[in-house]
Structure 1
Amino acid sequence: MPSRPAAGHIPAEPRTGTAGQEQSRQRVIEAAIDLLEREGRDAVTTRAVAVAAGMQPPAIYRLFGDKDGLLDAVAEHGFATFLAAKHVDPDPADPIADLRDGWDLAVEFGLANPALYTLMYSEPQRSDSPALRAGMEILRGRVGRLAVGGWLRVNEELAVMVIHSSALGAVLTWLSLSPDRRDPALLRVLRESMVTAVTNQQPAVQDSSLSGTARALRATLPEHTSLSAAEQHLLTEWLDRLSSDE
């Protein structure tokens, strides 16, 4: 954590140049996250962050535009940190265990960084975050592998939404509880409810389930190029309709 400047000391301006600006931005972001986690969002003022980072307040405006720009940068840093922690196995031995592991990782990150996590998901416009989009693509890849194996009970996009929202809801619910009411069983039940909601106990392609077979075929369709664009569009529409039938 950056040291607080001594009384009467005027902090130095950020170094000039791209590298110097990036170092200054990182310093400010780290100071803001420290304040956020220790004292809450209201404590993250431009003046307080500047003091914690050892800078003059105008430097914050030059680097981030305003307080909202600073908070957006802090949230993006959180998404990037979470993305870096994700493990991608292109061919998991057990795709259901892989799903559980990914869900657990998301929840554990939220519980370990409660104030940062809440900030990350507090504004709808942050769905445009490049790191968040990259993380969602990893989730879509995981769901796609489940679909190819015939494991999905629902269509891929719905599965992505259920998995993501259940992890988000689990974290926010846990954080809303007083410490004496935080039962770890809650997280296990929520995770298993998610697994049951989006997956079959056995791969659907091993039985006569029309919807399961359609979902598996829909997942592999983009790999085939023998169809024209119009044919592929029409077949995709049919498979989407069949995959939603019970």
Structure 2
Amino acid sequence: MRSTIITATAELLAQSSSGDISTRAVCEAAGVQQPVIYRLFGDKEGLLAATVDHVWDEYLSMKRQAEQSDDPLKDLRSGWDSHTAFAIAHPNAYRLLFGSNAVDRAESADEAMRLLRAVLDRLAAQGRLRVDPEVGARVVMAANTGVALALILRPALYPDLALSTMMRDIVHGALVSDAAPASDAGESSRIAATTLRGALISMPDTLFTDREAGLLDEWLNRIQSQPPAG
């Protein structure tokens, strides 16, 4: 019953010109009474959250199963492109997930961020990331969702999909050391601090005392936080 309702909701959402649907239409499509909706999902927001998670699970399952290449930068670029492609293919579900507060209960965005962070951790471990992986993940996600929303919400203003590729290369160039020239003399120090900080995660807990580990992390964070010269 639950899967039938979610499938019907996903189909109606995909067909909606406004990006909105009514619970009455869902009930008619699924062949159920409205009390069933509230019993299974709580309210319309809960139904939409479950539906968006269902739609995005298709996308996330591809990312979970994707084989890693030898180059995490290549994987980062591929992830950006697949994100944009999925947004174009499912504009209403995407708009609900990233362009509104209608589905705050959806879990899809959190998992997408975790998968992105894993790629950036690999870059940091190779000494190629200019910023902390958590910061980098937020920057990439914000830029990727921003350009995807621009493409689906303002197609007349942004008719060319090449905008996504251009934005991708600009953002990645600013974050990854071998994707663009270093911007200042302190660049290598910040990259080294990021690399060492990432490596410490996999080191034995007995390597440093809690006080030593805390002090080292504070020093590395201070190096990472230094602004570019000039």
TM range (shorter): 0.7 to 0.9
Judge conservation of contact 1:28–1:49 (CA < 8 Å) in 2: yes
**Residues 195 and 202 of structure 1: is their aligned pair in 2 closer, same or farther, counting only changes over 3 Å?**
closer
For residues 112-160 of structure 1, what are the alpha-carbon distances to aligned partners after superposition, in whole Å with 9 as ceiling and x for unaligned? 1000111112445856644432322211111011011111122222211
Aligned to 1:233: 214
**Residues 181 and 121 of structure 1: is their aligned pair in 2 closer, same or farther, counting only changes over 3 Å?**
closer
Larger radius of gyration: 1
In structure 1, stretches of 5+ residues that fail to align are 1-23
Aligned to 2:69: 92
**How do 1:40-51 residues align onto structure 2 when only pairs under 5 Å count?**
40=17, 43-51=20-28
Judge conservation of contact 1:78–1:117 (CA < 8 Å) in 2: no
Name the aligned partner's letter for residue 125 of structure 2. Answer: V
Name the aligned partner's letter for residue 219 of structure 1. Answer: G
Q: CA RMSD in A?
A: 2.6
In structure 2, which of residues 95, 117, 123 is the aligned counterpart of residue 118 of structure 1?
95
Q: Report the alpha carbon displacement of residue 90 of structure 1 after superposing the two structures with TM.
A: 7.8
Aligned to 1:217: 196
Q: Report the alpha carbon displacement of residue 163 of structure 1 after superposing the two structures with TM.
A: 0.8
Q: Report the alpha carbon displacement of residue 40 of structure 1 after superposing the two structures with TM.
A: 4.2
1:68 is paired with a residue of what secondary structure?
helix
Aligned to 1:14: none
In structure 2, stretches of 5+ residues that fail to align are none
Aligned to 1:58: 35
| Percent pairwise identity | 34
Paired residues, what number? 221
Q: CA–CA distance in 1 between the matches of 2:157 and 2:108?
A: 34
**How do 1:146-225 residues align onto structure 2 when only pairs under 5 Å count?**
146-178=123-155, 181-201=158-178, 209-225=188-204
1:195 is paired with a residue of what secondary structure?
helix
Judge conservation of contact 1:29–1:74 (CA < 8 Å) in 2: yes
Judge conservation of contact 1:80–1:132 (CA < 8 Å) in 2: no
**How do 1:102-141 residues align onto structure 2 when only pairs under 5 Å count?**
102-124=79-101, 129-141=106-118
**Residues 178 and 125 of structure 1: is their aligned pair in 2 closer, same or farther, counting only changes over 3 Å?**
closer
Name the aligned partner's letter for residue 107 of structure 1. Answer: T
**Residues 210 and 125 of structure 1: is their aligned pair in 2 closer, same or farther, counting only changes over 3 Å?**
farther
Q: CA–CA distance in 1 between the matches of 2:140 and 2:41?
A: 33
